[in-house]
Amino acid sequence: MNEDGKANFSVYYAKSFYNAFIALEQINQNSSDEMLYRIPVMVNRAFSIEITLKAMLRKCRIEYKKEHILINLFSMLPNSFQEEILMHLTEKAPEYSDFHKLSEELILISDLFVDWRYAFEGNIAPAVDLRFVSAFANAAIWTMFSHYNVDLVKRDDFEKTDKQIEDMLSDNREKAIEKISQRLKDGHNMKTVI
């Protein structure tokens, strides 16, 4: 896949995680157990922000390496995108026009995906303003859509036989096993699985 194709896929990916966050949030609102979906909603909300910022960076041809800290990704965006996100954010949550308040929340949400994803291990998940996080996610996706949007469409010329699909899946599995096994050898003690 060429760079334009990868960038378009990033936009589609951001769109899908934002939709997943919205769907989970709606399920949570209709649930009799308000705690049941709280962490999955927060994790998907945070991940949707990360993927949206990365999609915009990729479309702008700005490399971000393996960066996951939201405030760093945000600061890598062109100033016009940062200003647009903040404009949309303060329309939804005007109290964040205050620079100090905005800065504090940006710091608190910087590693939100990891903080909330591993909260079950006893890690401190920051007490963030949910209104801010939702407004930031909305502002980021709104900004992305005002510049980039894609729909993936099935190609008629991409028909494959069952055998070709099986071969592709088999090849994928072999490469994944090799890659994951190497990662385990390099960084972790791999236990033998029988």
Residues 6+ apart with CB under 8 A from 65: none
Residue 162 pLDDT grade (very low, low, confident, very high; cuts 50, 70, 90): confident
Per-range mean pLDDT, top range of 3-17, 32-46, 78-92, 155-169: 78-92
Which token pair is 134?
């939702």
* pLDDT tens digit sequence for 85-115: 999 999 989 999 999 999 999 999 999 888 8
Give the whole-angstrom CA distance, residue 73 versus residue 67.
7
Domain ranges of the chain: 3-147, 156-187
Residue that has been written with the tokens 């927060």 in this structure: 42
Residue 4 three-state SS: helix
* pLDDT tens digit sequence for 6-20: 888 899 999 999 999
Q: pTM for this one?
A: 0.81
Residue pair 163/74 in contact (Cβ under 8 Å)? The answer is no
Which token pair is 63?
């490399």
